[in-house]
Amino acid sequence: MTILILEDEAPARARLQQLLARHRPSAAIVALPSVAQAIAWLVAYPPPELIIADIQLSDGLAFEIFRHTSPGCPVIFTAAHEQYVIDAMQRDGIAHLRKPLREDDVADALARCDRLDSQFAERVRRLAQRFRAPHRLVARRRSGFVVVSVAEVAYFAGDDDKRIDVVTHHARRFAIDHTLGDLEGELDVAFFRINPRYLVHATAVTGFRHAAKGKLLVELQPPPRGQVEVGKEQTSRFRAWLAG
């Protein structure tokens, strides 16, 4: 990870480097004092993962940098006054810190950056999962095999004999040679593993109601063979998944 510090005051620059050494010890730190040097560096090198910029540099406002370059990374702005807060937030700013910098404020801003990175990585993972997800499944029937489109699938159901069935929206049911764990890893986020035996598509859920011990009873269409429960530890994730 590379962090670019833009700060023209030596004591403030040293203070920030000291804080980053504690909170981001593995980061490569580049420190520059001026708008002109920052523009030259950003043109010559790959963009950093994070910029921490004092708004008022030795040769002008840091905003000038972003009129000439597009680093495309989060920016933490620092300033002794509040008059530039709105401008800062409009230029990829994820935080605006008052000087002199407090360690807690810097740590909070770095944590916010981590959360954004994590959310972005999760979105990329889900998008990649959608592209590599299978579009068809080969299932077994008495006379041989049948090809089932994933778009037809309402849910996958397991039983005590470790048989896995695919159930379509038109109530067709076929056995498949997959585990629910494999399917869970391959299919996109429209499917959710609501318990060890059921992997369901969101459109198959027609309702749910509270049950004993904090569980939920889920109503599926087509109707399943027996009750389908969501355990107490899964209820919040289940509700969030249904909400999209």
Query: Tens digits of per-residue pLDDT, 29-45?
Result: 999 999 999 999 999 99
From residue 123, give the alpha-carbon distance in Å to each of 49, 128, 145, 182: 18, 9, 36, 21
Q: Name the DSSP class of 143.
A: T
Burial class (CB in 10 A: 0-12, 13-18, 19+), 57: buried
Give the residue extent of every domain in the chain. Answer: 2-130, 136-242
Residue with the two structure tokens 């107490």:
232
Sheet order of strands, 50-54 included: 28-32, 2-6, 50-54, 75-79, 93-98
Q: Which of 149, 167, 150, 178 is nearest to 228 (CA)?
A: 167
CATH number of 136-242: 2.40.50.1020
161 pLDDT higher than 80: no
Element of type H or E holding 129: helix 103-132
Enumerate residues 6+ apart whose C-beta is below 8 A from 95: 76, 77, 105, 108, 109, 112
Segment 143-152 mean pLDDT: 90
92 pLDDT higher than 60: no
- The reported pLDDT for the residue numbered 91 is 55
Cα separation, 106 vs 96, whole angstroms: 10
Identify the weakest region by mean pLDDT among 39-43, 70-74, 130-134, 192-196. 130-134
Cα separation, 244 vs 231, whole angstroms: 20
From residue 204, give the alpha-carbon distance in Å to each of 23, 168, 172: 46, 9, 14
CATH number of 2-130: 3.40.50.2300
131 pLDDT higher than 50: no
128 pLDDT higher than 60: no
pTM beyond 0.85: the answer is: no
